[in-house]
Amino acid sequence: MLVLNAVAQWVNQWARLRYPDYESSNSYPGNVLCNVFFAASFVFGGIGGAGQFRAEEKVRRERGEVTIWEKVARLVKGGEKEEGGEEEGARLSGTSA
């Protein structure tokens, strides 16, 4: 899907160069080429991004790592604790709690 996003953006850029002014880009075939591939690039980008996110979450679960949704749930409950008892922010900043 992400490759289709790139292809749709290339076709959209070509259409914008081929039909550069208002009149040509708003008459057939300029309006179809400019608008369809513009919208398609958003659709393909969204689907590709969601697919990549799902694939990364699957790999995290298979490895036994904490998923992003588990981290969010911990933060909502009042702060994420590491095994050593440090707060996540303190661990990242290099200070101890």
Domain boundaries, the chain: 1-64, 66-97
Question: What digits encode the pLDDT tens for the residues 25-83?
Answer: 889 998 999 999 999 999 999 999 999 999 999 998 899 888 888 888 889 988 655 55
AA identity, residue 56:
E
Question: What digits encode the pLDDT tens for the residues 44-60?
Answer: 999 999 999 999 999 98
What is the greatest pairwise CA distance in the chain?
Answer: 66
Q: Exposed, middle or buried, 60 (CB in 10 Å: 0-12/13-18/19+)?
A: middle
* CA gap 41, 11 in Å, rounded: 10
* CA gap 12, 70 in Å, rounded: 39
